[in-house]
């Protein structure tokens, strides 16, 4: 099925460990995004990539890095995990064209716990 | 990016029509209004989008007055499965340049009761 695939779905890290969250989309979308969602909160943008080869900081980029590996894949890396990064992480993609806009397509999320 | 204001929560009963209003006083000329739905443990899902007047699809209707400073999402005859958080977002959907993000607020938590 077409859509956004995130791996892993669940992860527990110890403080100071590193990991990479993977995201891939097969809809030929040009823009991709990483959001985090904390309990009772809306989604906050971490990083985004408007097109292949470009990345930009969002609202809460500290402690994260991203890589737009190709048009399909956009990964999020935590170099040294902290308990404050315990959250649900969502990847999204978007076709940035007014005539063909159907909104963002989100993945099912990665639930990350840092202990 | 235009800021939006919507109610924190709403309650309804099965079979009723639900209207959720969103205020966006600083909407820009190029901005569209988009609504998303989010169920627990899932990512948000696009519901409907509009620029002005009225838009209708198989899921909902979106009413936008002439001044575009507010919008109303209308869900006809809700069921228990419509219990979710609904987000109103405003932004330019053609993000080719330095734009590229939409701001999700806390949304409106809709609870549908039997």
Higher pLDDT, A58 or A8: A8
Q: What rounded mean pLDDT belongs to chain B?
A: 88
| pLDDT in the model for residue B47 | 93
Of B34, B42, B100, nearest to A50 by CB-CB distance is: B100
Of B93, B96, B99, the CB nearest to A101: B93
Cα(A75)–Cα(A46) distance, integer angstroms: 12
Q: Which of B42, B93, B95 sits opposite A50 (nearest CB)?
A: B95
Of all residues in chain B, the percent with pLDDT exceeding 90 is: 65
Q: Which residue has the higher pLDDT, B104 or A47?
A: A47
- pLDDT band at residue A94 using 50, 70 and 90 as cut-offs: confident
Q: What is the C-alpha to C-alpha distance for residues A103 and B87, in angstroms, rounded to an integer?
A: 12
Asked if the Cβ–Cβ distance from B46 to A105 is below 8 Å, we say yes
Cα B99 from Cα A98, distance rounded (Å): 14
With beta carbons under 8 A apart, name residues in chain B contacting A94: 95
Choose among B89, B78, B70, B47: nearest CA to A42.
B89
Neighbours of A98 (CB within 10 A): 11
Tell me how close the Cα of B37 comes to any Cα of chain A, in angstroms.
11
Rounded CA-CA distance A61/A10 in Å is 21
Q: Which of A40-44, A49-53, A60-64 has the lowest mean pLDDT?
A: A40-44
Say whether pLDDT at B98 is over 50: no
Distance CA(A9)–CA(A65), nearest Å, equals 19
The pLDDT, as a whole number, for residue B96 is 40
3-state secondary structure of B4: coil
User: Nearest-CA distance from B47 to chain A in Å?
Assistant: 8
Q: Find tokens 């734009």 and name the residue.
A: B99
| Alpha-carbon span A95 to A101, nearest angstrom | 6
Nearest CA in chain B to A9: B41
Mean pLDDT over the full length of chain A: 91
| Predicted confidence (pLDDT) at residue A3 exceeds the cutoff of 50 | yes
Query: What residues of chain A have any CB closer than 8 angstroms to a CB in chain B?
Result: 4, 31, 33, 35, 40-45, 48-51, 56, 58-59, 90, 92, 94, 96-98, 101-109
Q: Calculate what percentage of chain B has a pLDDT beyond 70.
A: 89
Indicate the pLDDT class of residue B110, thresholds 50, 70 and 90: very high
Rounded average pLDDT over B9-32: 93
Average pLDDT over residues B91-100: 54
């Amino acid at each position: 099925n077409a859509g956004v695939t995130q791996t892993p779905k669940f992860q527990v890290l110890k403080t100071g460990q590193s990991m990479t969250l993977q995201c891939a989309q097969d809809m030929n979308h040009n823009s991709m995004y990483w959001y985090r969602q904390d309990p009772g909160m809306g989604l906050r943008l971490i990083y985004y990539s408007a097109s292949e080869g470009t990345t930009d900081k969002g609202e809460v980029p500290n402690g994260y890095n991203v890589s737009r590996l190709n048009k399909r894949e956009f990964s999020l890396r935590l170099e040294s995990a902290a308990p404050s990064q315990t959250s649900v992480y969502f990847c999204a993609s978007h076709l940035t064209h007014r005539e063909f806009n159907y909104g963002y397509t989100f993945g099912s999320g990665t639930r990350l716990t840092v202990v | 990016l235009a800021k939006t204001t919507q109610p924190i929560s709403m309650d309804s009963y099965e079979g009723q029509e639900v209207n959720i209003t969103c205020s966006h006083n600083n909407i820009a000329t190029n901005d569209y209004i988009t609504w998303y739905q989010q169920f627990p443990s899932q990512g948000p899902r696009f519901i409907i989008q509009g620029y002005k007047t009225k838009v209708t699809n198989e899921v909902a209707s979106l009413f936008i007055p002439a001044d575009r400073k507010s919008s109303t999402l209308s869900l006809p005859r809700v069921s228990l499965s419509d219990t979710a958080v609904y987000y109103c977002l405003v932004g330019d959907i053609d993000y080719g340049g330095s734009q590229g993000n939409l701001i999700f607020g806390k949304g409106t938590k809709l609870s549908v009761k039997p």
